[in-house]
Structure 1
């Protein structure tokens, strides 16, 4: 970012003006740092290692979508936009820079976003599972990477519907946890594969927490039941590892592989050790298998599912 760029400044955001000190009294478990607000509701870390992983995931999925930040048929300038579970805030920051006429809010349980942001971007510490007060407020709502984070997806989608203006769009982007191979050699019928073992283990832990690891099979149906009539789904194949030959696919695969290898410790620390009660040694065996698989197994892919839904005009 260029410090001379006139679109950047100390934005008057809640992230810098109204956060109580309690939300930054982070918790530490198994050598990783976790959010303080609504403690225990989100099972993944918020420390610098995790922030680096989230930023890498953002770059990977943006490349996967042909360098697009969204697929909804919108013109963001002049719109009021909400980014649910914004994480490091990279998506709103890039959107704010590209569309200075938009007003963009990102919310998250953790105030880990920067304060030097485009002046049309602000951040809130908020829990999207609580009651929303907004109705007919937003033109576009962006919601991604919320796997294992939500207890009641249908309720969240109903609240999103109510918060959108007539004609407004919501966009969900989530990874399926069913791994496949480009040559069809690996899938759900290979339960001994490290990726499948990880997926099944995390699914069991999330179930015990009352949360869903993989909402992708249900997003279209929930959107319909939540009041949306115009709904479409797009599925992109995300490679894991540097095996693809194309430049873009190789970039995506390399980032996906590194992100999974570096991030598996954070994925399993609370969910597998605390929720399932595995020992540190047992968890490390699983993590080591996953790290090895990201380097050695060819042609592994995961579906990246994008669901778009429009509120009736």
Structure 2
């Protein structure tokens, strides 16, 4: 069952990149350290108007209550601001594109955005394609009231059976869902089943293992340790923190006929020389500094059994490490686009 909450072009994608052709991220040796970067008293958050109708409080944060426990991160204003920032990160990383799949924007599209969060991707998709119908679903009704007339949001759990009678989609978008899905192969099969023939699905996610190209990131770095602990915690609850490397295989198993993969480097911190990557990396640095409390609250305390004091000390170490511009952490970011057979 779904509960409706409210109603209301990028250029064709380039060919998928050859992973061997991806060059190293050049370090900016002339960088000046900004002592106000990541000040712990700042929030860096501008929240969208929210109609949060259902919620529960724990660890000093607000969480969804519909299908409670399935999503391990908050839905409060601070988290919404972080999610909007991450939307901008991915948009800039894809060179100001919302997607890479070669969908045809010249005809009316029916689009589904899975786990829409604040709804920003769906809203911008609706703005770019006025002739499209864009539906965003999420466990939390935190999307804004002011939306384009061709965009609507519903409260829904994508892991439940989808309504078979509903119209098929031309494009289904799934982004930033690591740690949130119990059965990825089943979800990918449902996505395939609810696409029109010739329709496209796209999965966007970081490979959630940090590394550095110059050896500056050590295994005991708090940022690397945080990702390791998050991975262990998500494995314990059966919701993998690192689905991205399996997207292609799951799409093949689901019957998709054409699959492309685009791999990019997502730096953490403002150390890259390239201006676009510097912008992206700076925001990702803030993501670690201001998001670490949201990342660790439920998974470290409730799943791994850490005390509140242990978590607070560890979070402070992550924030400190995130400001160290002599360390050059990188995620790989994957975009897997898959077409249903005509």
State the TM-score, normalizing by the size of structure 2: 0.83
Q: Distance in 1 between matches of 2:87 and 2:54?
A: 27
Structure 2 residue corresponding to 1:247, chosen from 250, 275, 283:
275
TM-aligned CA deviation for residue 195 of structure 1: 1.7
Question: How far off its partner does 1:83 sit?
Answer: 0.1
For 2:139 and 2:74, locate their aligned partners in 1 and report how far apart those are by CA, in whole Å.
11
2:125 aligns with 95
Distance 1:127 1:25 in 2: 14
Deviation for aligned residue 1:136: 6.3
Gaps of 5+ in 2: 8-51
| Structure 1 residues 234-278: Cα deviation after superposition (integer angstroms, max 9, x where no partner) | 111011111112221111011111012101100110011111110
Look up the match of 2:150: 120
1:40 and 2:30 aligned: no
CA–CA distance in structure 2, aligned partners of residues 199 and 301 of structure 1: 12
Matches within 5 A, 1:1-313: 14-16=4-6, 24-76=53-105, 77-134=107-164, 137-186=168-217, 190-297=218-325, 298-313=327-342
Match of residue 7 from structure 1? none
Classify the secondary structure of the residue corresponding to 1:15. strand
Whole-Å Cα distance in 1 between the matches of residues 224 and 240 of structure 2? 16
SS at match of 1:14: strand
Residue 35 of structure 1 deviates from its aligned partner by 0.3
- The structure that is helix-richer by fraction is 1
- Partners of 1:152 and 1:14 in 2: CA distance: 25
Contact 2:6 2:152 in 1 (8 A): no
Q: Distance in 2 between matches of 1:175 and 1:136?
A: 30
Q: Distance between the aligned counterparts of 1:58 and 1:217, measured in 2?
A: 21
Could you tell me which runs of 5 or more consecutive residues in structure 1 were left unpaired when the two chains were aligned.
1-12, 18-22
Deviates further, 158-167 or 194-203: 194-203
Q: Cα RMSD between the aligned structures?
A: 1.5
8 Å Cα contact 1:24-1:35 kept in structure 2: no
After superposing the two structures, state which structure 1 stretch, 116-125 or 242-251, moved more: 242-251
Aligned residue for 1:10?
A: none
